[in-house]
Homo-oligomer: A and B are copies of this chain.
Amino acid sequence: MLQSKLFAKTLHEDPKDEISINAKLLSRAGFIHKLMAGAYQYLPLGLRTLVNIENIIREEMNKLGANEVLMPALHPKEYWEKTGRFHGFDALFKVVSHFDKEFALAPTHEESIVPLVQRSPLSYKDFPFALYQIQTKFRDEPRAKSGLLRGREFRMKDLYSFHISEESLHTYYELVADVYTRLFLRLGLKTLRVKASGGTFSKYSDEFQVVVPTGEDVIFVADSGEAFNGELMPQHLRSKEVGSIVEHEGKKWAVRKSTEVGNIFKLYTKYSKPFDLSVLLKDGAKGEILMGCYGIGSSRIMGTVVEVHHDERGIIWPQQIAPFQVHLLSLADAGKAAEFSKTLYERIVDMGVSILYDDRSDRTAGEKFADADLIGIPIRAVVSERTTTAGKVEIKKRSEDTIRLLSEQELFEVLLKK
């Protein structure tokens, strides 16, 4: 893609109305634009990154054998009344119609997936199975000041599993937990599996938390890797300073700040029961259906990655989710070097490697370097008159300081190895 044709203008200063690192950097680098608190517009760079994140999530869900669906955000009030959540769910937005109707604007989709499964002609032989979607969700957040970390409107993957035995639910739950840990690593995030409160039907749920100084949660982590959300610790421990080590039940726990990027719940019959969702078992008896639900906030992932991977100059994208793999800066407007950079750009496009080509003739070299650091594409390739005369390209990884002069052929080898 030619940078001169990309709708992505970098800003010289942090937006005045942002306080979080992710919103400041993503706005300045031209990835997102705030329409209002908690609702962001994804510009081309931001959308490419979001799509990369969601495609990795999709791949892992498909490998699990889950089927992808897409459900509406607008839900009938009746279904939310059935589960007691039309008035019981604090963050539920309500939609008013001219035609004397009210709808729920869904923050989660149990009230939609259960009627869907109920309407399907299923046999006990179809169990277990799982459905997921990657979709836009809505929450009536009082404070939405954390950029992509806490949105009134945000992107999410939600997976729901259906079982006719507890054993099957437990097995699937552990399988998803394993997939999650690996999935987050693919997205560039090292997570801890953290026990959290389980709601009505289960003692614990599990959260996947990324330890980061700007995190909103406080977790307690033992040497063994065992971890608990602060909400499960005794009152007198919860107020301990971050970084301190506390003793509890004969173990030592480090107090850490963290950001939740995923959570998984055993719902048992919490949502299947209100809808009387059941199936005829092999012996002809009516069998109840147990459910699990498994969330990942894909826009939240994008914000968390920026909170974790940045320096004073800008974002440092993990290769797997970066909007482009290579950022080629041309420092010459005419002559051999300009021709060479154009040819190099076309060859890298032909290789199927995603590349942003800074072909802008109205920017100084300094501005181009600063923009490249801010945007954070993993590999920066610079073509100038000097490098062209030497028959080389100047290569620098965003995550490293070393600058290397490579021949075109050596650069291709680097790109193909990645």
Contact = CB atoms under 8 A, between A and B. Distances in A.
Contacts of A351: none
A47 B74 contact: no
Interface stretch (A111-119, A228-236, A256-264, A365-373): A111-119
Contacts of A56: none
Interface centre among A46, A129, A152 (most CB of B within 10 A): A152
A214 interface: no
A142 B99 contact: yes
A6 interface: yes
Interface stretch (A90-98, A177-185, A219-227, A314-322): A90-98
Nearest to A30: B120
Contacts of A121: 9, 11
Contact of A74 (B43, B46, B76, B138): B138
A47 B61 CA distance: 15
| Total copies of this chain within the assembly | 2
B97 A140 contact: yes
Given A5-B65, A99-B142, A72 B40 contact: yes
Interface string A61-88: 0000101111111111000000000000
Query: Main SS of chain A's interface residues?
Result: mixed
Contact of A67 (B44, B65, B69): B44
B72 A153 contact: yes
Contacts of A90: 98
A136 interface: yes
A74 B153 contact: yes
Contacts of A129: 7
Interface stretch (A31-39, A336-344, A393-401, A404-412): A31-39
Nearest to A78: B36
A25 to B, nearest CB: 17
A196 interface: no
A76 B36 contact: yes
B35 A112 contact: yes
A174 to B, nearest CB: 21
A74 B119 CA distance: 30
Contacts of A99: 140, 142
Contact of A41 (B44, B94, B96, B116): B116
Contacts of A375: none
Interface in A117-141: 119-122, 125, 129, 131, 136, 138, 140
Contacts of A44: 67-69
B76 A35 contact: yes
Interface of A: 5-7, 9, 11, 33, 35-36, 39-44, 46-47, 50, 65, 67-76, 90, 93-99, 103, 105, 112, 115-116, 119-122, 125, 129, 131, 136, 138, 140, 142, 152-153, 362
6 contacts: A6-B67, A7-B67, A7-B129, A40-B72, A74-B153, A93-B103
